[in-house]
Amino acid sequence: MNATANTVPNFASDQEVRWCPGCGDFAILAQMKKVLPTLGVKPENTVVVSGIGCSSRFPYYLETYGMHGIHGRAPAIATGLKRTRPDLQVWVVTGDGDALSIGCTHLLHALRRNVDIKILLFNNRIYGLTKGQFSPTSLPGLVTSSTPMGTAHEPLHPLSIALASNATFVARSVDTNAKHLGEVLRRAAAHRGSAFVEIYQNCHIFNDGAFDFAKNPAIRDDHIVAIAHGEPLVFGKNRDKGIRLDVAGPEVVTLGGEYNEPDLLVHDEKADTNTIAQMIAGMRHPLMPEAIGVLRDVDRPTHNDLMRDKTPDPKSRETAVNRLLHGGETWTVA
């Protein structure tokens, strides 16, 4: 480990990175290698926990502590770690299948408990590691090896789920949007409590172009809106469109005619309720532009804060256990 006070720690491991050429995971790894050394946390105090999937190879490629966990259970492993070692900075790297199919409830409960962990969900809308079956975020009609007639069902929407779980930090970015992703990762790291980041990640092999609307420079400005706290929701190649909150919900308006910037929804990531954030999360391509940036960033006691108050000190614990074992609700089996 190279982490003395006078040198910038190197978070790159010596392992050969094995993803398919062109994979969006490379772009996310590149950003993490740039962001981690700027956080002031030493590599030996950083832990990356993953589940199963292409994204879950992440811990091998960072010179931190790490654990390639069991499928879907990275949030549970990370919860235990953060509970016993609150001094460590704990990241979870997961994918759409790992987090939303196999381990969906673990994700929900980590978020509602506000465990102080940073969860990065690489969403490529496909099972890549097992060679291209539909995932819980695949869009209806997607033809895959396990859905030759196209997928039948509606997808799950990660941001909506995170907000419904009362997550205190919810954000979205795009793998190859380096500057934006870097800033979102920095914000997630700075948040005290659960930070949930959905990253649109292109699977070059099994679901190429799934996020073309958000990545293709020729069209993306008309299909994504980069939100910022205190700023109106303006978008479009010519910055001539915006999101206005109508009684029926958010609507796209053209600026310069009937509506101008003062008429637009102003983003408030610290709002008392997550109602508006849910509306923004509900803006989905192709009907609406999709939001990237921090949807919500609020303070709430963390899991460790809350459990500290609920944990008896060691002296009284023994008495409590004795009382439980020898109390009135016990009996002897003859």
Stretch that binds another protein, among 27-35, 102-110, 117-125, 244-252 (CB under 8 A): 27-35
CB of 27 to another protein, least distance (A): 5
Long-range pairs for 244-253 at CB < 8 Å and ≥24 separation?
245/276, 245/279, 249/279, 249/282, 250/279, 250/280, 250/282, 250/283, 250/288, 252/288, 252/289
Do residues 163 and 295 lie in contact, with contact meaning Cβ atoms separated by under 8 Å? yes
298 scored as a contact of another protein (CB under 8 A): no
Asked, as a colleague might, if the bond just before 289 is cis with ω within 30 of 0, I would say no
217 scored as a contact of another protein (CB under 8 A): yes
Stretch that binds another protein, among 18-26, 48-56, 89-97, 313-321 (CB under 8 A): 18-26
19 scored as a contact of another protein (CB under 8 A): yes
Of 144 and 177, the one with the shorter C-beta distance to another protein is 177
Distance CA 137, CA 204 (A): 17
Q: Tell me the number of residues near another protein by CB under 8 A.
A: 17
One-letter amino acid for residue 282 of the chain: G
β-pairing verdict for 195-200 and 224-226:
unpaired
Stretch that binds another protein, among 11-19, 140-148, 220-228, 229-237 (CB under 8 A): 11-19
Of 24 and 75, the one with the shorter C-beta distance to another protein is 24
User: Which residue of 168, 202, 207, 304 would you call a contact of another protein, by CB under 8 A?
Assistant: 202
Q: Decide: helix, strand or coil at residue 224.
A: strand
Of 27 and 102, the one with the shorter C-beta distance to another protein is 27
The distance from CA 231 to its chain's CA centroid, rounded to whole angstroms, is: 23
Stretch that binds another protein, among 72-80, 173-181, 252-260, 306-314 (CB under 8 A): 173-181
Distance CA 294, CA 258 (A): 29
Of 98 and 175, the one with the shorter C-beta distance to another protein is 175
Which residue(s) pair with 226 in the sheet? 292
204 scored as a contact of another protein (CB under 8 A): yes
Of 12 and 70, the one with the shorter C-beta distance to another protein is 12
Token pair for residue 97? 């299948």
Distance CA 295, CA 279 (A): 10
One-letter amino acid for residue 82 of the chain: K
Of 208 and 263, the one with the shorter C-beta distance to another protein is 208
26 scored as a contact of another protein (CB under 8 A): yes
CB of 50 to another protein, least distance (A): 19
Of 70 and 178, the one with the shorter C-beta distance to another protein is 178
User: Which residue of 10, 13, 30, 279 would you call a contact of another protein, by CB under 8 A?
Assistant: 30
CB of 208 to another protein, least distance (A): 10
Token pair for residue 203? 């699977």
Summarize the chain as % helix, strand, coil (round to 5): 35, 20, 45
CB of 178 to another protein, least distance (A): 7
Taking alpha carbons only, the member of 97, 98, 46 closest to residue 70 is 98
Phi, psi of 319 (to 5 degrees): -60, -40
123 scored as a contact of another protein (CB under 8 A): no
Q: Give the binding site for another protein (CB under 8 A).
A: 12, 17, 19, 21-24, 26-27, 29-30, 175-176, 178, 202, 204, 217
